[in-house]
A = this chain, B = another copy of it.
Amino acid sequence: MAETKRICTFLLRLIAFGTTLSAAIIMASSRERTTVLTLSFEAKYSDAPAFKYFVIANAIVSIYGFLLLFLPSESLLWRLVVALDVVFTMLLTSSISAALAIAYVGKKGNPNAGWLPICDQVTKYCNQVKGALVVGFISVIIYMLLLLYSIHRVLNPLLVEKS
């Protein structure tokens, strides 16, 4: 039973590593050259600070996730991992929220502020950003599950001892 749980956690961490890495790569490779009237311009992820932040955050978390895959299961460092998971899950949550807010303005615009939607001009770019956000969202969900599972595992024995 303990072995099954360990394999499950390892698989979840492997998927989490894969999704954060993919999200960073998909977002970083999103670019499209387009011509509006006579003006040619290129849309790329570094145009928006929020998208840059998304790439950096996902890259950092994927390095962290990669290192964790090699941490032996009997290591005492796993206790520290709960606290690190909190910090890195927050980083992911924050980066995806910021990117989502900007992507929403790109898609729908904001008539009150006079910001026009740009997705009609750069459809391919928008779809790639959308893909990156979906993959990023999956990684946030997985980290959230891992975190709640760690907390449950740590707290439950105490509850059993006490009652």
Which A residues fall within an 8 A CB radius of B?
A: 41, 43, 47-50, 76, 79, 82-83, 86, 89-90, 93-102, 104-106, 110, 112-116, 118, 144, 147-148, 151-152, 154-155, 158-159, 162
Contact = CB atoms under 8 A, between A and B. Distances in A.
A66 to B, nearest CB: 23
Main secondary structure of the interface of A (DSSP, over half): helix
29 contacts: A41-B112, A43-B112, A47-B110, A50-B104, A79-B158, A82-B151, A82-B155, A83-B151, A86-B86, A86-B148, A86-B151, A89-B90, A90-B93, A93-B93, A93-B97, A94-B94, A94-B96, A94-B97, A97-B97, A97-B98, A98-B100, A98-B101, A101-B102, A105-B115, A113-B115, A113-B118, A114-B115, A115-B115, A154-B158
Contacts of A151: 82-83, 86, 151
Nearest to A80: B155
Contacts of A144: 86, 90
Contact of A101 (B50, B90, B154): B50
Contact of A114 (B86, B97, B116, B162): B116
A122 B133 CA distance: 32
